[in-house]
Amino acid sequence: MQIIEAELQFPEKTLNYTRETIFKEVESQLKQNHLPAGGEIAITAGSRGIYNIDGILKDTLDAVRSFGYTPFLVPAMGSHGGATAEGQLEVLQHLGITDKTMGAEVRSSMDVELIGYTENGVPAYMDKHAFHADGIIVVNRIKAHTAFRGNVESGLSKMVTIGLGKIRGATFVHSHGALKMEENITDVCKTCLEKGPAIMGLAIVENAYDKTAVIKGVERERWFEKEAELLEQSKSMMPQLPLDKIDVLVIEEMGKNYSGTGMDPNIIGRWRIDGVPEPSSPAVNRIAVLNLSEESFGNAQGVGLADFITQRLADQIDRHVTYTNALTSTYLRRAMLPFIYDTEKEAIETACNSLGPDVDMDQIIFLQIPNTLHLEKMYVSKQALHEMEKQNIPLKKGKRFSLTFNQQGELAMRLNEKSSV
Could you tell me if 122 and 265 lie in one domain? no
Could you tell me if 280 and 377 lie in one domain? yes
When pLDDT is averaged across residues 351-363 and rounded to a whole number, the result is: 94
Mean model confidence pLDDT for the chain = 94
Could you tell me if 161 and 249 lie in one domain? no
Could you tell me if 183 and 51 lie in one domain? yes
CA distance 6 to 399: 8
CA distance 102 to 96: 9
> HEC string of the chain?
CEEEEEEECCCCCCCCCHHHHHHHHHHHHHHHCCCCCCCEEEEEECCCCCCCHHHHHHHHHHHHHHCCCEEEEEECCCCCHHHCHHHHHHHHHHCCCCHHHHCCCECCCCCEEEEEECCCCCEEEEEHHHHCCCEEEEEEECECCCCCCCCCCECHHHHHHHHCCHHHHHHHHHCCCHHHHHHHHHHHHHHHHHHCCEEEEEEEEECCCCCEEEEEEECHHHHHHHHHHHHHHHHHHCCCCCCCEEEEEEECCECCCCCCCCCCHHHHCCCCCCCCCCCCCCEEEEEEECCECHHHCCCCCCHHHCCEEEHHHHHHCCHHHHHHHHHHHCCHHHHCCCEEECCHHHHHHHHHHCCCCCCCCCCCCEEEECCCCCCCEEEEEHHHHHHHHHCCCCEEEEEEEECCECCCCCECCCCCHHHCC
Could you tell me if 247 and 116 lie in one domain? no
Evaluated on CA atoms 8, 229, 162, 37, the torsion sign reads: positive
Of 218, 237, 256, the last residue of a domain is 237
Q: How confident is the model at residue 109 (pLDDT cuts 50, 70, 90)?
A: very high
Query: Is 264 within 8 Å of 302 (Cβ atoms)?
Result: no
CA distance 177 to 275: 9
Could you tell me if 299 and 360 lie in one domain? yes
In a domain, 410, yes or no: yes
When pLDDT is averaged across residues 295-312 and rounded to a whole number, the result is: 96
Please tell me the predicted confidence (pLDDT) of residue 274. 86
Count how many domains the chain has.
Answer: 2
In a domain, 294, yes or no: yes
Query: Is 385 within 8 Å of 4 (Cβ atoms)?
Result: yes
pLDDT over 90 (residue 49): no
Query: Is 343 within 8 Å of 288 (Cβ atoms)?
Result: no
Asked, as a colleague might, if the bond just before 282 is cis with ω within 30 of 0, I would say: yes
Tens of pLDDT, residue by residue over 230-277, are 999 999 999 999 999 999 999 999 999 999 899 999 999 999 998 888
In a domain, 109, yes or no: yes
CA distance 181 to 204: 22
Q: CB neighbours (10 Å) of residue 356?
A: 7
Mark 106-138 as b/e (b = at least 16 C-beta within 10 Å). Answer: bbbebebeebbebeeebbbbbbbbbbebbbbbb
In a domain, 259, yes or no: yes
Domain region containing 407: 240-419
When pLDDT is averaged across residues 401-408 and rounded to a whole number, the result is: 96
Of 207, 237, 267, the last residue of a domain is 237
When pLDDT is averaged across residues 339-353 and rounded to a whole number, the result is: 98
pLDDT over 60 (residue 421): no
In a domain, 244, yes or no: yes
Could you tell me if 333 and 256 lie in one domain? yes
Residue 163: name the closest of 50, 278, 55 by CA. Answer: 50
Residue 187 backbone zone (phi > 0: left; psi -120 to 50: alpha; other: beta)? alpha
Of 209, 237, 265, the last residue of a domain is 237
Could you tell me if 127 and 271 lie in one domain? no
CA distance 241 to 362: 20
Tens of pLDDT, residue by residue over 178-217, are 888 999 999 999 999 999 999 999 999 999 988 999 999 9
In a domain, 8, yes or no: no
Predicted TM-score (pTM) of the model is 0.85
In a domain, 2, yes or no: no
Please tell me the predicted confidence (pLDDT) of residue 419. 55
CA distance 146 to 140: 16
Could you tell me if 112 and 124 lie in one domain? yes
Could you tell me if 307 and 293 lie in one domain? yes
Could you tell me if 190 and 249 lie in one domain? no
Question: Residue 270's beta-bridge partner residues?
Answer: none
Tens of pLDDT, residue by residue over 60-92, are 999 999 999 999 999 999 988 889 999 999 999
Supply the CATH number for residue 42's domain. Answer: 3.40.50.11440
In a domain, 7, yes or no: no
Name the phi and psi angles at 65, rounded to 5. -65, -40
Give 13 or 119, the one with higher predicted confidence: 119
CA distance 205 to 220: 19
Could you tell me if 382 and 294 lie in one domain? yes
pLDDT over 70 (residue 319): yes
Query: Is 352 within 8 Å of 248 (Cβ atoms)?
Result: yes
Please tell me the predicted confidence (pLDDT) of residue 296. 92
Please tell me the predicted confidence (pLDDT) of residue 420. 53
Please tell me the predicted confidence (pLDDT) of residue 147. 85
When pLDDT is averaged across residues 131-149 and rounded to a whole number, the result is: 94
